[in-house]
A and B are shown apart, each in its own frame.
Chain A
Amino acid sequence: MAKTIIQMINIIKRYYIGQPNELQILNGISLDIHEGEFVSIVGASGSGKSTLMNMIGALDRPTEGEYFLDGTDISRLNDKQLSNIRNQKIGFVFQTFNLISRTNALKNVELPMMYAGVPRKERSRRAMELLELVGMKDRYTHQPNELSGGQKQRVAIARAMANDPAIILADEPTGALDTKTGHLVMNIFHKLHKQEGKTIVLITHSPELASETERIITISDGSVISDTLENTAENAGAENTEVSGE
C-alpha cells in the first residue's frame, strides 16, 4: 500500500458556535487518501463539499477531529504554519482560475515559489518548465486577460505544481469551461497523475467528471455516503491523449 497523504479522523466543522443559529456542516468525516491516487469528491450544493475542500486545502481548521496531511497534524497549526503548508504541500486549482490580474503567466506561476523563497533565476527556470508541461510555454508573457478560459486554467495548473506539492486540489476545474476545453484540462490532470505520479483530489458535482477518476467519494449532508474504486484502466486509457495547444 502506498503512503497515506491525507488522513482525516472524525472531522467535525461547526459555525456560529454557541449561538442560537449554530450550524454543523461536517458530521465526523473520516477518510484516507494515498499517494498517487486520483480521487474525486462528489456532492450536491450544500452537501459540505466546499467546507471539506477548504479543510483539505488547509484554508480552514476543523472544530473537532484530526487531520494529518503528509504526516503533519493540520488541526493544531497556527496561521503562519498553515500558510507554509498551503505553500509547500498543496496546489490549488480553482473553478474561476484565480490568476492574479495584470501579472503575466510566468509571474503567476512563479508566485508560490516566490513565497517559498526560491531564488529568482531558479524560479523562472522552473516556471518555464511547468508552462511547457501544460503547453503554455509560448504564452508566458501573456496577461490573464489575454488568455482564453482553458489557457488560464492550464496556467493555473502549472502554478499549482510550482512547489511540487503533495496533493493537487482542484475545485470544479472544468466548471467554467466548455466541454471540449474541459476535456483538454482533464487530460492534463490525467497526464500529471500518470506521468508525474501526482496525488490529485478533484471536487465536483458532476458524476460524469468523477467517473474519469480512480476513486469516487460521495458526500451528502456532511457525511461520506459512499467511497468506491472505479475500473481505472478503461476510463483513463480512453481519455489519455497528448495535450496540445488550443
Chain B
Amino acid sequence: MSFFENIRMAFSSIAANKMRALLTMLGIIIGISAVITITTLGSTLRTTILRALSSMGGNSFLAYINEKEVEGLDDDDYYLTSEDMITLNMLRELEEQYPGEFKVAASTGSSSATVVNSEKQYINVQIQGVLNGYLDSFGLKLKAGRNITMADNEQNKHSAIVSDIFVRQYFRNGEEPIGQNIEVSFENGNPFEFTIVGVYKYSELKLNSFPAGTKEIDKVTPIYLPYNVINDMKAMPEEGFYNLQIFYDLSVENSVAYTQICDFFDEQYKENRMWNVYIYNIQDEVEIYDMIINILTIIFSVIAAISLIVGGVGVMNIMLVSVTERTREIGIRKALGAKRSTIKLQFLIEAIIICLIGGVIGILIGLLNSELVGVIANNIVSSNPDYSDLLGNISISPSVGAIVISIIFSTLTGVFFGLYPAGKAAKMDPIDALRYD
C-alpha cells in the first residue's frame, strides 16, 4: 500500500467527520496563528525600528580625537593644539579617496537672520554653516536641488539650501526656487547674497516645533550655508573639528566602511605623536536593539507555542476516541491482511494531516492578523505626518523561517501525539477487534 494511498485514505476519513476534525484542529490553529502573528509582527517591528534608527544616523560613525597610548607619557603630558584637530583638508582628501561614499556632519552654531520677500514681508530665519552630511544627521530629505558639497566649502561658494516652508514664505507666486538669489541680512546688519541650490523638507519632529497657531510667515526655519563661508565670517574662526559624525553610503557595508574610515584616519595621524582619531560604530548600538527585539520575539513565540502542546493533546484525545470508535474497522482491516505497521501508519498519517491542515489554516490566519495590524498601524502612522516621516510606510514582512518552522512543528505535533493512539490501534488483537460492538 503506497504512501499516497494512506494520505488519500486519511483525507477521506477526515472528510467523513469534518466538524470533529475542525474542532480537533482548533488548538493547533490557535497555536500556529499566534506564533505566526508574533513572529511576523516581531520582524516587522525590527525592520521598522532599524529603518527609523538608520534614518537618524544608524549608517554613521562618530569620529573624535583620542589619546594615543605612548610609553613614557602620563595623562598630564597630553596637550591638544589646533594642529591636532581634524581639518577640512583631511575631509577633502577623504572625499577624493572615496568619492561620494562619506558625508560629514558638522556645523557652526546657528545665528538669526532675516530675508525680505517680494511683498516686503520680513522672514526670520536661522543661519547655519554645514558640511555635506549635516542634513543626514537629522534625517532630513532634499525635495529638490542638491546638497551643500565639499566643493562649496572649499571654494567659499555662497550656496544655500532652504526649507520648503521658506520657499512658500519667500516665493509668493510659486516660482522655481533653485538657482534664485536671496539676500540674507545677518544680525550685525550686513546683507549677503546666496544662491539657492536645494530645498529640504522641514520636519517638526526633528527640528523645532512651532507653537500652535503660528502663522506660516512667522515660522522660523534654518537656512544651511557652506561651513567655511559662515566660519570665516566669525571673529575667531574654528581651526578644525574635535569630533564629527561621518555618514557612509548605504550601498557600502558597515564593516567595509568602518575599516576604510579607520585606516584613513590612522594614515592621517601616523605622524602625530600623541593623538589619533577614534571611530565609534553606531551600528554596534543598532545591533543591541536588534538583539532585544529578537529575544522578545523568541520569548513570545515560545509562550504561543505552549498552546500548541495543548492543541496536540486535543489531537491525541480525539485520535484515541477515533481508534476506539473504529475498533471493528481495525479488526476488519487486519482480517483482510493489513499489517500492524499498515494500521499504525494509517492512524499516524491521519493525525499528522489533521495537524498539518490545522497548521496551514493557522499560518493563513496568522498572516491575516499581521496584515490587519499592519493596516491599523499604517493608519495611525499616516495620520501623523512626523511619524510617517520617520517610519515611512510600514510593510508587514512575514518571517519565512517562522512559516517553515510552523509547518515542521505541526507535523511533529502530529507525529508525537499521533504515535500513541496509532500504536494502540496497531496492537489490537484482530479477534477481539472483530467482536467489538
Give the B-binding residues of A (Cβ under 8 A).
54, 57, 59-60, 79-80, 83-84, 86-88, 92, 94, 98-103, 111-112, 114-117, 159, 163
CA distance A86 to B328 in the complex (A): 17
Most chain-A CB neighbours within 10 Å: which of B328, B329, B336, B339? B336
Q: List 16 A-B contacts (CB under 8 A).
A: A59-B434, A83-B340, A86-B334, A86-B335, A87-B337, A87-B338, A92-B335, A98-B335, A98-B434, A100-B333, A103-B12, A111-B333, A114-B1, A114-B5, A117-B1, A159-B336
A111 and B336 form a contact (CB under 8 A): yes
A115 and B332 form a contact (CB under 8 A): no
> In the assembled complex, how far is the CB of residue A225 from the closest CB belonging to chain B, in whole angstroms?
24
Contact of B337 among A60, A83, A99, A101 (CB under 8 A): A83
Residue B205 CB within 8 A of the other chain: no
Give the 9 A-B CB pairs with smallest separation, nearest first: A87-B337, A83-B339, A115-B337, A112-B336, A102-B16, A98-B332, A86-B337, A59-B430, A92-B335
B336 and A80 form a contact (CB under 8 A): no
Residue B431 CB within 8 A of the other chain: yes
Residues from chain A with Cβ under 8 Å of B431 in the complex: 54, 59-60
Q: Report the contact-size class of chain B (Cβ under 8 Å from the partner).
A: 20 to 34
A100 and B329 form a contact (CB under 8 A): yes
B340 and A86 form a contact (CB under 8 A): no
Interface string of B341-385 (1 = CB under 8 A from A): 110000000000000000000000000000000000000000000
A80 and B340 form a contact (CB under 8 A): yes
Query: Which residue on chain B has the smallest CB distance to residue A118?
Result: B1
Given A59-B431, A60-B431, A98-B328: A112 touches B339 (CB 8 Å cut-off): no
CA distance A112 to B12 in the complex (A): 18
CA distance A103 to B74 in the complex (A): 94
Given A114-B1, A114-B5, A115-B1: A101 touches B336 (CB 8 Å cut-off): no
Given contacts A87-B337, A112-B337, A115-B338, 15 further A-B contacts (CB under 8 A): A59-B334, A59-B335, A59-B430, A59-B434, A80-B339, A84-B337, A86-B336, A87-B338, A92-B336, A94-B434, A100-B333, A102-B16, A111-B336, A114-B1, A115-B336
> In the assembled complex, how far is the CB of residue B352 from the closest CB belonging to chain A, in whole angstroms?
20
Contact of A100 among B332, B340, B341 (CB under 8 A): B332
> In the assembled complex, how far is the CB of residue B213 from the closest CB belonging to chain A, in whole angstroms?
75
Residues from chain B with Cβ under 8 Å of A86 in the complex: 334-337
> In the assembled complex, how far is the CB of residue B51 from the closest CB belonging to chain A, in whole angstroms?
55
Residues from chain B with Cβ under 8 Å of A103 in the complex: 12
Query: Which residue on chain B has the smallest CB distance to residue A114?
Result: B1
Query: Which residue on chain A has the smallest CB distance to residue B435?
Result: A50
Report the tally of A-B residue pairs with Cβ distances under 8 A: 63
B340 and A79 form a contact (CB under 8 A): yes
> In the assembled complex, how far is the CB of residue B93 from the closest CB belonging to chain A, in whole angstroms?
78
Query: Which residue on chain B has the smallest CB distance to residue A88?
Result: B337
Most chain-A CB neighbours within 10 Å: which of B333, B337, B339? B337
A83 and B434 form a contact (CB under 8 A): no
Residues from chain B with Cβ under 8 Å of A84 in the complex: 337, 339
Query: Which residue on chain A has the smallest CB distance to residue B437?
Result: A96
B329 and A57 form a contact (CB under 8 A): no
Residues from chain B with Cβ under 8 Å of A94 in the complex: 434
A116 and B339 form a contact (CB under 8 A): no
Residues from chain A with Cβ under 8 Å of B333 in the complex: 100, 111, 115
Residues from chain B with Cβ under 8 Å of A115 in the complex: 1, 333, 336-339, 342
> In the assembled complex, how far is the CB of residue A84 from the closest CB belonging to chain B, in whole angstroms?
7
Query: Which residue on chain B has the smallest CB distance to residue A50?
Result: B431
> In the assembled complex, how far is the CB of residue A170 from the closest CB belonging to chain B, in whole angstroms?
13
> In the assembled complex, how far is the CB of residue A121 from the closest CB belonging to chain B, in whole angstroms?
13
CA distance A185 to B329 in the complex (A): 23
> In the assembled complex, how far is the CB of residue B112 from the closest CB belonging to chain A, in whole angstroms?
87
Interface string of B126-169 (1 = CB under 8 A from A): 00000000000000000000000000000000000000000000
Query: Which residue on chain A has the smallest CB distance to residue B338?
Result: A115
Most chain-B CB neighbours within 10 Å: which of A57, A59, A83, A102? A83
Interface string of B1-18 (1 = CB under 8 A from A): 110010000001000100
Residues from chain A with Cβ under 8 Å of B340 in the complex: 79-80, 83
> In the assembled complex, how far is the CB of residue B321 from the closest CB belonging to chain A, in whole angstroms?
16
B337 and A116 form a contact (CB under 8 A): yes
Residues from chain B with Cβ under 8 Å of A114 in the complex: 1, 5
Interface string of B316-335 (1 = CB under 8 A from A): 00000000000011011111
Most chain-B CB neighbours within 10 Å: which of A60, A98, A163? A98
Interface string of B423-435 (1 = CB under 8 A from A): 0000000110010
CA distance A87 to B331 in the complex (A): 13
Contact of A57 among B1, B2, B335 (CB under 8 A): B335
Given A54-B431, A59-B431, A101-B329: A79 touches B336 (CB 8 Å cut-off): no
> In the assembled complex, how far is the CB of residue B332 from the closest CB belonging to chain A, in whole angstroms?
5
CA distance A152 to B180 in the complex (A): 98
CA distance A99 to B1 in the complex (A): 19
CA distance A54 to B332 in the complex (A): 13
> In the assembled complex, how far is the CB of residue B336 from the closest CB belonging to chain A, in whole angstroms?
5
CA distance A57 to B331 in the complex (A): 13
> In the assembled complex, how far is the CB of residue B426 from the closest CB belonging to chain A, in whole angstroms?
10
> In the assembled complex, how far is the CB of residue B10 from the closest CB belonging to chain A, in whole angstroms?
13
Residues from chain B with Cβ under 8 Å of A117 in the complex: 1-2
Query: Which residue on chain B has the smallest CB distance to residue A171?
Result: B434
Residues from chain B with Cβ under 8 Å of A54 in the complex: 431
CA distance A159 to B434 in the complex (A): 16
B338 and A83 form a contact (CB under 8 A): yes
Contact of A87 among B5, B332, B336, B341 (CB under 8 A): B336
